[in-house]
Chain A
Amino acid sequence: MKILVCISNVPDTTSKINFTADNTAFDTTGVQFVINPNDEFGLTRAMWLKEKQGATLHVATVGTAAVEPTMRKALAIGADEAIRINAEPTDGLFTARQLAEVVKNGGYDLVIAGRESIDYNGGMVPGMLAAMLDWNFVNTCIGLEIDGDKATAVREIDGGKETLETKLPLIIGGQKGLVEESDLRIPNMRGIMMARQKTLTVMDPVDMEPGTRDTQYEKPAPKGDVKLVDPGNLDQLIDLLHKEAKAI
Chain B
Amino acid sequence: MSTETKEKEILRGGQFLVKETACEDVFTLEDLSEEQRMMRDSTVEFVDRELWAHWERFEQKDYEYTKTCMQKAGEMGFLSISVPEAYGGMGMGFVDTMLVCDYISGATGSFSTAFGAHTGIGTMPITLYGTEEQKTKYVPKLASGEWFGAYCLTEPGAGSDANSGKTKAVLTDDGKHYLISGQKMWISNAGFCNLFIVFARIGDDKNITGFIVENDPENGISLGDEEKKLGIHSSSTRQVFFNETKVPVENMLSERGNGFKIAMNALNVGRIKLAAACLEAQRRVTDEAVTYAKERVQFKTPIINFGAIKAKIATMATNAYVGEAACYRAAKNIQDRIELRVAAGNSHQEAELKGVEEYAIECSILKVAVSEDVQETTDEGIQIFGGMGFSADTPMESAWRDARIARIYEGTNEINRMLSVGMLVKKAMKGHVDLLGPATAVGEELMGIPSFDTPDFSELFSEEKDLIKRLKKVFLMVAGKAVQTFGPDLEEHQQLLMAASDILIQIYMAESAVLRAEKNAKKLGEAAQQTQIAMARLNLYEATDIVIRKGKEAIVSFAEGDEQRMMLMGLKRFTKYTNTPNVVALREMIADSVAEAGGYTFD
Interface of A toward B, CB cutoff 8 Å = 30, 68-69, 72-73, 76, 182, 186-190, 192-193, 195-196
Contact = CB atoms under 8 A, between A and B. Distances in A.
B46 A69 contact: no
A189 to B, nearest CB: 3
Contacts of A187: 38, 42
B46 A186 contact: yes
Contacts of B20: none
Contacts of B37: 69
Interface string B67-92: 00000000111101100000000101
Contacts of B46: 186
B34 A189 contact: no
Contact of B38 (A73, A182, A190): A73
B445 interface: no
28 contacts: A69-B37, A69-B38, A72-B34, A72-B38, A73-B38, A73-B41, A76-B38, A186-B42, A186-B45, A186-B46, A186-B76, A187-B38, A188-B75, A188-B76, A188-B77, A189-B77, A189-B81, A189-B90, A189-B92, A190-B77, A190-B90, A192-B35, A192-B39, A192-B42, A193-B35, A193-B90, A195-B35, A195-B38
A188 B42 contact: yes
Nearest to B80: A189
B49 interface: yes
Q: How large is the interface on B (under 10, 10 to 19, 20 to 34, 35 or more residues)?
A: 20 to 34
Contacts of B38: 69, 72-73, 76, 187, 192, 195
A73 B37 CA distance: 10
A195 B39 CA distance: 12
A121 B216 CA distance: 59
Interface string B90-108: 1010000000100000000
Nearest to B50: A186
Nearest to B528: A29
Contacts, number: 46
B76 A189 contact: yes
Contacts of A73: 38, 41
A196 B75 CA distance: 20
- Ranked nearest first, the 6 interchain pairs of A and B with the lowest CB-CB distance are A189-B77, A188-B76, A186-B45, A188-B77, A187-B42, A186-B42
A195 B42 CA distance: 14
Contacts of A189: 39, 42, 76-78, 80-81, 90, 92, 100
A239 to B, nearest CB: 24
Interface of B: 34-35, 37-39, 41-42, 45-46, 49, 75-78, 80-81, 90, 92, 100, 601
Nearest to B100: A189
Contacts of B92: 189, 193
A174 B197 CA distance: 51
A193 B38 CA distance: 10
A136 to B, nearest CB: 35
A37 to B, nearest CB: 14
Nearest to A29: B528
Nearest to B48: A186
A195 B77 CA distance: 15
Given A69-B38, A73-B38, A189-B39, 13 more contacts: A30-B601, A69-B37, A186-B42, A186-B45, A186-B49, A188-B75, A189-B78, A189-B80, A192-B39, A192-B42, A193-B92, A195-B35, A196-B35
A58 B76 CA distance: 23
Contacts of B34: 68-69, 72
A192 B92 CA distance: 12
A129 to B, nearest CB: 29
Q: Which of B37, B38, B46 has the most CB of A within 10 A?
A: B38
Nearest to A32: B41
A61 to B, nearest CB: 16
Nearest to A190: B77
A142 to B, nearest CB: 22
Contacts of B80: 189
Contacts of A186: 42, 45-46, 49, 76
A196 B41 CA distance: 16
Contacts of A30: 601
Q: Which of B42, B46, B78, B601 has the most CB of A within 10 A?
A: B42
A84 to B, nearest CB: 14
Nearest to B89: A189
B107 to A, nearest CB: 15
A30 B100 CA distance: 23
A69 to B, nearest CB: 5
Nearest to B37: A69
Nearest to B34: A69
A76 B77 CA distance: 13
A83 B591 CA distance: 43
A198 to B, nearest CB: 13
Contacts of B100: 189
A73 B34 CA distance: 10
Nearest to A73: B38
A179 to B, nearest CB: 15
A178 B322 CA distance: 44
B93 to A, nearest CB: 12
Contacts of A182: 49
Contacts of B42: 76, 186-189, 192
Contacts of A68: 34
A196 B90 CA distance: 14
Nearest to A187: B42
A72 B100 CA distance: 19
B296 to A, nearest CB: 16
Contacts of A76: 38, 42
Contacts of B75: 188
Nearest to B78: A189
A14 to B, nearest CB: 8
A189 B78 CA distance: 7
A50 to B, nearest CB: 18
A240 B302 CA distance: 25
